[in-house]
Structure 1
Amino acid sequence: MALAAKVEQFLNRKGVSYDLLPVTNQAGSSFDSAVMARGGAVGSVIRCTAMIDLKGVILVVHPYDSSPDADAIERHTGRRFQPLTAAQTNRLFADCLPGFVPPFGAAYGVPVLVEQALLEENALIMACGGAGALMVLSGRNFRLGMAGCDRGTVTLRQGGHQPASGITLEEIAEKLQKLYRLPPMPALALRILRLTGDSDASVRELAELIEFDPSLTAQVIRYARSALFNYPGQVESVHEAVTRVLGFDRVAHIAVGIASVRAFDIPRQGVLGMDQFWRHSLYTAFLTQRMAPHCDADPGLAYLCGLLHNFGLLLVGHLFPAEFAELNRLREANPEASMRALEDQVFGNHDSQQLLTVGHGVIGGILHKLWELPGAVVKAAGMHQQLHYQGDHRVYVVLVQLANGLLKEIGVGDEFNPDDLQQLAAEAGIDPAQLDEFRKDMAEVAEDLDSLAYSLAS
């Protein structure tokens, strides 16, 4: 299957000429895979998002590296839309394969809202309904196919993956330290972290260090008592939590995480609030630790990478509470937009804050480096927003990305634009067939992780 039947009839009726760019069956398993297999820049590629309100459906046609802006669409149309579910979209465009919806909504009786800038392009590449090819239209033929459609500036651009103007991470770190008062790692977290680097450290030393803080002690014991570990006996002390249930590394890592979070002051509520932060962090840590043995990674270090990978978001919320509240609102209103796009929208218009458009991942990596955390933790935080990362500690970066991709399927995390999980698994050296096993493991502990996350956020 290449061109969808209704699309072919529509284009022929309109006199729209087009070319088909073949893609291999393997590359065409998803629209994103087909685009990546094509190679070259994605600036001329477009995608479509079906959205709905009480009055009906529209098809938003926008650049590949963008997402519909629900607020801008509301200002333009006077209507509040939300994305259709995948199942609804598949029913509406029944002769198209999932993910390969073409921009010609009129062929299906669906009104189209097209991003204005696309009508000025010389040539465009798009889905044609089938997985076997991409469609190429000249600018003139695209405008002919869009005749009668609504148009406006209604999308969020995701931006590039590198800091602007060639600025290096070292320069960003230097500027951040000069411009903003970055919180130091809490003293207790620093002492615990240093203890983990001492090969002669004992369980007694770790327990005594944690027990200096009654609140931390209670949280570590609560963690050990959770149904997550199914320990049949009583756990009454940190020493018992280490020796009977969790082990030295896991107690140290969760204690570092709990103590470090105290450096930040952000609200509990909202999709980016502290409740959801802990939920996301614990789920990611569970998955990264679970997957680590399958790619010869250290499970304890993988757990710490998953647990701390999103601290950049806490830092943004701590330094800029008003902007964080706006980011939280945008995240809820635009579930399919990438965090990079939303961060760019919030911070890109403020000269004093444009540095933050590098993304919360990079900001978190810089903070972890300043806090002298392990290199793998620094890279996992700093690069988890950068797909196809090539560099030091790559396996830990990809493990966090794969965990986040799996979590998007169940609505856990800070963004929900789908990932190519098969590709990420391959990059991590994990058999993609094992993904269902990880999903099953996660489902079995979900209730316990949710309960634990709520208690840690309290």
Structure 2
Amino acid sequence: MALAARLDRFFDQQGIAYKERSIDRASSLDAAVAALGHAREDVIKATLLIDISGIVMVVHRYDSALDDDALRQITGRHLQPLTGHQTMRLFSDCDPGFTPPIGNAYDLPVLLDESITRAEQVLFTSGTDHSLIEMDGRSLRLAMAGSREGHLAIRGPDNGGVQEALTLAEVASKLKKLYRLPPMPALALRILRLTSNTEATARELSELIEFDPSLTAQVMRYARSALFHYPGQINSVQEAVTRVLGFDRVAHIALGIASVRAFDVPRTGILGMDNFWRHSLYCAFLCQRIAPRCGADKGLAYLCGLLHNFGLLLVGHLFPAEFKELNRLRETNPEASMQSLEQQAFGQGSEQEIIAVGHGAIGGILHRLWELPDPVVKAAGVHQQPGYQGEHENYVMMVQLANALLKDRGIGDEFNPDDVPELLQRLELKPAVLDELMMDVDKVAPELDALASSLSI
């Protein structure tokens, strides 16, 4: 059975005829509809709204948007979109993001756009991510018995009947228009500018870091850690640069520490700052180890690993309430993809439209705004996309491989399986390298954990 349980029971009890249409598993309803071709013109969907008087389901064509003025006029109510958490409590038998537009099956009052009452055939989600329901007009009217009808939605421009996803440029524009994106902290910006100067010296970098006592202490702690086994005393940042860490490594860790100060995110929780730093440091360490085997720049690979998850910090900074819910969902749904949980946590409001691209793409947008190196922008922006091929793909795949290996240690924000053999093949690495990398991690894990704890304070 490919239908949600309550939907299947309702159709059976009411004797309503329908056909199931199997589809490839889809990451979202948008993805499922996009694969339909011409048939997508028949798709209808549900939008769930709430106010103090309760919840209402509005059923309208997929390629339409609700007319807020018409809704207020018909209902006399000021309705707001449900959150993802509220939606999943009502539709617990459904996959996240696949809400069937049959309110009667869930004891919900329904408002029905009048254009649907004339439809000869419709398609809609079955409540699962791998099938759709096909139904004729007569059966649909039986399923919608008792619904209130009206002119509730406005059809979009003619685009073949499909609701197109926002482009990254549009997401970037909306983010900048709707929210105050944090600028790169002044110290981080100065470090970034210094590193772009090929003639910059260790003394100049040290003096810049030493302007900030907290950053100085953190860099010194990093240099003195057992990661580097330096036998002597380290008494200054310049000694840390010249004797232990080198210019690039100090610059990169200092840039990461200073940049994180742009965000106000809780320390605790699986997505909190403590685990963010742990994930980032482990990923950066592995990327740095992988890079020489792929002919890539070690310093740049380290920076890609260190900064690849900044989009998650930006999500937490801009949307604290939804981020708290996302944290809860992540802890209780380890098998789910992060992108599906983000869609669930952000409901159906304007934030959901933006977050639909995933926190990775949002991080890439921020890094582009901050004018970070292109491989860093790309690694952040598409690390959630398996099979990515394109500009700077080696750096993206190094981050993906590092994250895949870390999942076995319970480190990171994704725990669903990866295609590690494909990543190894595309990076031209032999399978034996995996054991070597994890042995490297075992040797430094205590030091990385201690460093992560110190950086999150």
The match for 1:354 is 353
Task: Find the aligned partners of 2:404 and 2:266 in 1 and give their Cα distance.
Answer: 25
TM-score (norm 1): 0.66
Q: What secondary structure is seen at the aligned counterpart in 2 of 1:165?
A: coil
**C-alpha deviations, 1:436-458, integer Å up to 9, x for none?**
11111111111111111001011
**C-alpha deviations, 1:198-239, integer Å up to 9, x for none?**
011001000000000000000000000011111111111100
CA pair 272-373 structure 1, distance change in 2 beyond 3 A: same
Q: Tell me how far 1:189 sits from its aligned partner.
A: 0.3
Q: What secondary structure is seen at the aligned counterpart in 2 of 1:358?
A: coil
The match for 2:396 is 397
The match for 1:17 is none
**Structure 2 counterpart of 1:327, one-letter code:** L
**C-alpha deviations, 1:233-260, integer Å up to 9, x for none?**
1111100110111000000000000000
1:412 and 2:428 matched = no
The match for 1:449 is 448
Taking the TM superposition and a 5 Å limit, the aligned residue runs for 1:44-59 are none
CA pair 435-192 structure 1, distance change in 2 beyond 3 A: same
The match for 1:274 is 273
Task: Find the aligned partners of 2:386 and 2:301 in 1 and give their Cα distance.
Answer: 18
**Conserved? CA contact 1:348–1:357, under 8 Å:** no
Q: What secondary structure is seen at the aligned counterpart in 1 of 2:262?
A: coil
Task: Find the aligned partners of 2:169 and 2:132 in 1 and give their Cα distance.
Answer: 39
Task: Find the aligned partners of 1:118 and 1:186 in 2 and give their Cα distance.
Answer: 45
**C-alpha deviations, 1:18-57, integer Å up to 9, x for none?**
xxxxxxxxxxxxxxxxxxxxxxx89xxxxxxxxxxxxxxx
CA pair 239-178 structure 1, distance change in 2 beyond 3 A: same
Task: Find the aligned partners of 2:86 and 2:371 in 1 and give their Cα distance.
Answer: 40
Q: Give the structure with higher Rg (CA).
A: 2
**Conserved? CA contact 1:348–1:354, under 8 Å:** no
**Conserved? CA contact 2:404–2:417, under 8 Å:** yes
1:227 and 2:226 matched = yes
Q: What secondary structure is seen at the aligned counterpart in 1 of 2:263?
A: coil
Give the number of aligned pairs: 320
Q: What secondary structure is seen at the aligned counterpart in 1 of 2:356?
A: helix
1:304 and 2:303 matched = yes
Q: Tell me how far 1:356 sits from its aligned partner.
A: 1.3
Taking the TM superposition and a 5 Å limit, the aligned residue runs for 1:357-396 are 357-396=356-395
**Structure 2 counterpart of 1:282, one-letter code:** L
The match for 2:187 is 188
**Structure 2 counterpart of 1:441, one-letter code:** D
Task: Find the aligned partners of 1:402 and 1:239 in 2 and give their Cα distance.
Answer: 34
**Structure 2 counterpart of 1:246, one-letter code:** L
Which consecutive residues of structure 2, in runs of 5 or more, have no partner in the other structure?
Answer: 1-34, 37-83, 94-125, 135-162
**C-alpha deviations, 1:141-193, integer Å up to 9, x for none?**
xxxxxxxxxxxxxxxxxxxxxxx714322222111101110000001000001
Q: Tell me how far 1:430 sits from its aligned partner.
A: 1.8
Taking the TM superposition and a 5 Å limit, the aligned residue runs for 1:8-47 are none
The match for 1:203 is 202
The match for 1:169 is 168
CA pair 430-290 structure 1, distance change in 2 beyond 3 A: same
Which consecutive residues of structure 1, in runs of 5 or more, have no partner in the other structure?
Answer: 1-40, 43-68, 79-113, 123-163
Task: Find the aligned partners of 1:387 and 1:400 in 2 and give their Cα distance.
Answer: 11
Q: Tell me how far 1:353 sits from its aligned partner.
A: 4.0
Task: Find the aligned partners of 1:189 and 1:120 in 2 and give their Cα distance.
Answer: 50
**C-alpha deviations, 1:303-356, integer Å up to 9, x for none?**
000000000000000011100000000000101111000011112422344211
**Conserved? CA contact 1:316–1:324, under 8 Å:** yes
1:315 and 2:314 matched = yes
CA pair 432-167 structure 1, distance change in 2 beyond 3 A: same
**Conserved? CA contact 2:228–2:244, under 8 Å:** yes
**Conserved? CA contact 1:70–1:334, under 8 Å:** no
CA pair 207-370 structure 1, distance change in 2 beyond 3 A: same
Q: What secondary structure is seen at the aligned counterpart in 1 of 2:180?
A: coil
Q: What secondary structure is seen at the aligned counterpart in 1 of 2:293?
A: helix
**Conserved? CA contact 2:194–2:205, under 8 Å:** yes
The match for 2:327 is 328
Q: Tell me how far 1:390 sits from its aligned partner.
A: 1.4
**Structure 2 counterpart of 1:382, one-letter code:** G
**Structure 1 counterpart of 2:345, one-letter code:** V
Q: CA RMSD in A?
A: 2.7
The match for 1:258 is 257
Sequence identity percentage:
67
**Structure 2 counterpart of 1:239, one-letter code:** Q
The match for 2:32 is none
CA pair 166-328 structure 1, distance change in 2 beyond 3 A: closer
**Structure 2 counterpart of 1:401, one-letter code:** Q
Taking the TM superposition and a 5 Å limit, the aligned residue runs for 1:76-115 are none
**Conserved? CA contact 1:70–1:333, under 8 Å:** no
CA pair 249-399 structure 1, distance change in 2 beyond 3 A: same
CA pair 341-450 structure 1, distance change in 2 beyond 3 A: same
Task: Find the aligned partners of 1:311 and 1:116 in 2 and give their Cα distance.
Answer: 31
1:239 and 2:238 matched = yes
Q: What secondary structure is seen at the aligned counterpart in 1 of 2:164?
A: helix
**Structure 2 counterpart of 1:205, one-letter code:** E
Task: Find the aligned partners of 2:275 and 2:194 in 1 and give their Cα distance.
Answer: 29
**C-alpha deviations, 1:106-144, integer Å up to 9, x for none?**
xxxxxxxx966767679xxxxxxxxxxxxxxxxxxxxxx
Q: Tell me how far 1:70 sits from its aligned partner.
A: 11
